[in-house]
Amino acid sequence: MEAGAKKQILDILQEDCRRSPEQIALMLGLEAEAVKAAIAEMEDERLILKYPALINPEKLGDDTVTAMIDVKVVPQRDLGFDQVAERIYRYPEVRSVFLMSGGYDLSVVIEGRTMKEVALFVAQKLAVLEHVQSTATHFVLKRYKKDGVIYDEKAEDNRLQVSP
């Protein structure tokens, strides 16, 4: 299958990963078996890594604390930032790690049960790592939008206005 068709399949799966290969095939004018084979190939190549559901933790009553941590790192000779990033992303509390441009080197997203738990993670595990120069922690206070989805989108009122 050509790269353009694979990209279209990926776009559809990113929008709604519950779509079946048959639905995707119908949308793109392809054979369902070809779509199944393309998806399996992209999974084998680790182009598709996971099929996540986006959950609104506030509606669930989940009080998990999320923090974004800016980390300044001394790059290692011949390894750059990779080895430090690997040590960080191995912690189960860490949800994401990104190499950044700008005022800091790594952006780390972590989750914990309380702000104290997050602060202890930073103080006892992250800040003490060799080659970590400094950290700045930012706590998420409210989620508005993630992955293109608005959390509390108001239902649009489509009723016609009646004038007296």
- In CATH terms, 57-143 corresponds, of 3.40.50.720, 3.20.20.70, 3.30.70.920, 2.102.10.10, to 3.30.70.920
Domains 3-45 and 57-143 share a fold: no
**pLDDT above 70: residue 155:** no
36-45: Cβ within 8 A, 24+ apart: 37/1, 38/1, 38/5, 38/6, 38/9, 39/9, 39/13, 42/6, 42/9, 42/10
Architecture in CATH for domain 3-45: Orthogonal Bundle (1.10)
The SS3 assignment for 22 reads helix
Reported as a single tens digit per residue, the pLDDT across 119-128 is 999 999 999 9
Reported as a single tens digit per residue, the pLDDT across 63-92 is 889 999 999 999 888 888 999 999 999 999
User: Which residue type does 37 have?
Assistant: A
| 152-156-160 Cα angle (round to 5) | 160
* Structural domain boundaries in the chain: 3-45, 57-143
